[in-house]
Amino acid sequence: MPELPEVEVLSLQLSKRIGGLRIAEVLVRRESSLTGARQGFEETLPSKRINRILRRGKFLCLELEDGALLWFHLGMTGQLLWIPRPTAYVPHVHLVVRFEETEMELVFRDPRRFGKICLTKEPAGSFPEGVRPWGPDPYEMSDEGFLKIFRGRKGRIKNLLLNQTLMAGLGNIYADESLFRAGIDPRRRAYRLNSTKLIRLHQAICETLTEAIEKGGSSIDDFLHANGGRGFFQNFHRVYGREGEKCFSCGDLVHRIRLAGRSAHFCPQCQR
Ligand SMILES: [Zn+2]
């Protein structure tokens, strides 16, 4: 599932390509991917200029000149592709956005259909329909802010990192990778971690995300760049997806366990 780095990479790529363009036409190919009626999208969006492209948590958002926001959540397999016409041959396309200035089209494609598209008329402080307000990005908070959120909590640290209402952007991959870098066992309860350990974790999260963005994100499952290219941070994962392989630090085997219904990858030697 695309997480903060993948959505950030896409938003940077799309900023260069569609920032400032004017929407000519919107074609809805699968209405159930929309939260709201087809007409709202097909009638509201044409003739609007795109002010800028934002990422908020794991959502990518097109901000229009009148302040309306078009939100995309990529779910498991969502892709936002910037491809030339005709695009009708592309399978699993749920929405097509055409522009006045170019023959290129923005296409939302999602084979497994967990993605969502939402249109809100409120300004950028709002949240898409059906989504609970989420916490700040790891980048937006200081070490102190991070401590305030996580110190003393009873929950297991891995589960807390995935809770988008506390902090937005992390999913399974980057939670596992950050905990490895910080040397913390994913099963540890947050209140058992002292401030030094938690600050190390916050730094590990920011380092991991920054590195992942620089490497174009992780292309596992179906994540693709806007031009169809792939990220390559998956080649640098130290624990995620490496169960049974040797830990790069100590040579012991990487374990995979179930934790709150998700898989957690870690090295029992390096993570305490
Ligand atoms: Zn190890």
Secondary structure in 3-state letters for 223-234? CCCCCCCCCCHH
Sign for the pseudo-dihedral over CA of 102, 46, 54, 73 = negative
In terms of pLDDT, which residue wins out, 174 or 222?
Answer: 174
What is the model's pLDDT at position 125?
65
Question: Cα of 187 to ligand 1 centre, how many Å?
Answer: 16
Out of 58-72, 146-160, 175-189, 203-217, least confident range: 58-72
Distance 251 CA to ligand 1 centre (A): 6
pLDDT confidence band for 133 (50 / 70 / 90): confident
Q: How confident is the model at residue 221 (pLDDT cuts 50, 70, 90)?
A: confident
Peptide bond into 123 cis (omega under 30): no
Give me the pLDDT at residue 124, please: 57
How far apart are alpha carbons 158 and 269 in whole angstroms?
Answer: 17
Q: 159 CA distance to ligand 1 centroid (A)?
A: 21
The answer on pLDDT for 243 being more than 70 is yes
Distance 64 CA to ligand 1 centre (A): 48
Res 87: pLDDT: 84
Tell me: the pLDDT tens digits for 209-220? 999 999 999 998
Catalytic residue list: 2-3, 58, 262
Sign of the C-alpha dihedral computed for residues 89, 90, 92 and 95 taken in this order = negative
Instruction: State the pLDDT confidence band at 64, using cuts at 50, 70 and 90.
Output: very high
25 C-alpha to ligand 1 centroid (Å)? 53
Rounded to the nearest angstrom, the distance between the alpha carbon of 254 and the centre of ligand 1 is 7
What's the half-sphere exposure (Cβ side, CA atoms, 13 Å) at 133? 5
